[in-house]
Structure 1
Amino acid sequence: MVDSTVQHKAIAHPTDSRLLEVARAKLVAAAKQAGLQLKQTLAKEGKGLLRKAHEGRAKLYAWYAPEVDCISKGKARTPYEFGVKVGIVSTLRHNLIVGARAFHGNPYDGHTLASQLEQASILMQDLGITPHTVFVDLGYRGVDGDNPNVRLIHRGKLKRISARERAQLKRRQAIEPVIGHLKADCRMDRCHLKGKRGDRLHAVLCAAGYNIRWLLRMIAKKGLRALYSFLLHLLGLLALGPKPLTPRSSNSQLAVG
């Protein structure tokens, strides 16, 4: 399953007047530090300053975080969110996250699918698994030609898919609570790391934390014997090295939201 969400940046809600007032105050402070005498500082007019973004030029939402994008996901409660778009890839059956990547510039969801599947294939290459069936929402329409090695399934193809695939498509909504837990339990709701690299690292670390919590729940449910078997299997993989990439039909289905 693949879906996109917004990873909020730790910034104040951007307003033009506040951004201009911060810029004015910094310019005045820099001039005083350099020993320059200003005729006027516009201190009284500072709070009433307005600006107009030029056409074709990206708008700035935070002085110390110029990589922040304004993203509209069509939500009634939060029509506009300020941060970066993050793509999440999870398995169809057990909701284990196998990919998390940040995309700056607010790209179209379908244009990010190839990069997300590439990351998922790299992370699963030691298991010899490559995704071949991807369940997505309608935001990923029209990119079948860009991803010839996978089969994209969404609601727009209901008349062209089998009954089994229609039943599996109902599982696609399971990625929504996964994203909810990522934000509520794994701190993806607010990124405090600096720059674009910080956004990418934060997305991967939150996904890793989710998988660790998933593993701990499995240990609590099945006992330490399951952990011992898992460690033996992991040591065997490390000793044998990566296996050849042969797709498996049981574990290589992903759902993209």
Structure 2
Amino acid sequence: MGPVPRTLELFYDVLSPYSWLAFEVLCRYKNIWNISLQLQPTLIGGILRESGNQPPAMLPHKAVYLRSDLRLLSQHHQVPIHFPKDFFSVILKKGSLTAMRFLTAVKMEHPELLEKVSRELWMRVWSRDEDITEPPSILAAAEKAGMSMEQAQELLERVSTPQVKNQLKETTEAACKYGAFGLPVTVAHLQDETHMLFGSDRLELLAHLLGTSDNGTSYRGEKWMGPVPPAVNAKL
């Protein structure tokens, strides 16, 4: 038997393009790094309110940097990120509450489909400039991810139930307890230690932590990320 997989939690919101970058890289590396990746749908609005933070796009200089940064990261990580035409309406006004409640319901009832449905919602809002707030849009994403229309409709009807609402709230609160002030947040549970890493630009540090987590020496000699595995073949 090989070593037991280390547990990583990824707290994310499909409204966050940086969450998409972290999501894709961790999905590609989970077998290489021998990790058990626990996807945690989270509401970024709740985290920003709790921490007193605000979206980077609200600050002029950060907003300018955001576009160039995401363009380069999109090329590097082979993730097809394209800004929505009406950025402020799509990202800052409409939000992602229903979408994240839907993903919470997916995790509760069909966890095996959570990765694919999450990816399809990101593809809609951050690649094809499509809606993720209206029921038909969410159903279309779920169906494209491989869920039957009957399954998707049933989950959509559950997004306003106390069970789903409370679960999303609890997950968001858990991220806040780890110290989150934005998303994505990766929490690595290594031996007796827990490490919270913010953003998609701490993955080299995560590789270092995983590389030294077993006995203080390099885990199979891997303390760097190495060649990027092939990107997921997501259709535009």
Q: TM-score, normalised by structure 2?
A: 0.29
Instruction: Decide which structure has the larger Cα Rg and report it.
Output: 1
Q: Greater helix share, 1 or 2?
A: 2
